[in-house]
Amino acid sequence: MRAKLAFVPLVVLPVFIALAGACASSGSEVAVPTTTAPVDVVMQAADFVSLETMTPVRGFFIANQLGKLDEALAVANDPTGGGYPVGTVIQLVPQEAMVKRAEGFDPASNDWEFFSLDVSPEGTTIMDRGGAEVINRFGGTSCADCHRKAEPQFDFVCERDHGCDPLPIADDVIAAIQRSDPRPA
């Protein structure tokens, strides 16, 4: 038995050396796996600003916390839809927001995080955040349940022609709520 065990290194060692030499002489770099986490954004209350400082798009407001506003606006303005970049903030009214998170955050909501906010002249307070458990102010239903009805190409973003149920309040009321944002610009 001892003779057989002594034989193993004599076979394994030359094979290992040959493989290592072949890899080193190939002229290519060996890829080293990285453990870098995907870029994500975790919103804090101070990150939610007055609607006046965001970019208006057809009645809602958009921003991007990671400097990708142009990409977010390109998706918002594309009639065929698209996927919003991580860090995109979308608000219809000051008291609610949705924020695109990194892939894997919440596959059931297409990686959107929903927020219920309290706003005042002093700033913003996050009242609730998450997925299906966050309830909207327009009928007491889950934000995710309403946005889930958006056609897939629109990345959970509701508009009149995206497949979502209409809001139970008129556009003039929404506009008045938007203008009443008490946070400083």
pLDDT at 35: 65
Helices (H) and strands (E) in the chain, counts: 4, 6
pLDDT at 66: 97
Q: How far apart are CA 130 and CA 19, in angstroms?
A: 50
**Which residues of the chain are under the pLDDT cut of 70?**
1-37, 138-139
> What letter represents residue 29's amino acid?
E
Question: Quick one: DSSP state of residue 63?
Answer: E
Q: How many CA atoms does the CB half-sphere of 51 hold within 13 Å?
A: 25
pLDDT at 132: 82
pLDDT at 171: 93
Q: How many CA atoms does the CB half-sphere of 6 hold within 13 Å?
A: 3
Neighbours of 28 (CB within 10 A): 8
Q: Which residue has the tokens 């003779």?
A: 3
* Extents of the domains making up the chain: 45-179
Q: What is the pLDDT of residues 20-63, one digit of tens each?
A: 444 444 444 555 566 666 799 999 999 999 999 999 999 999 99
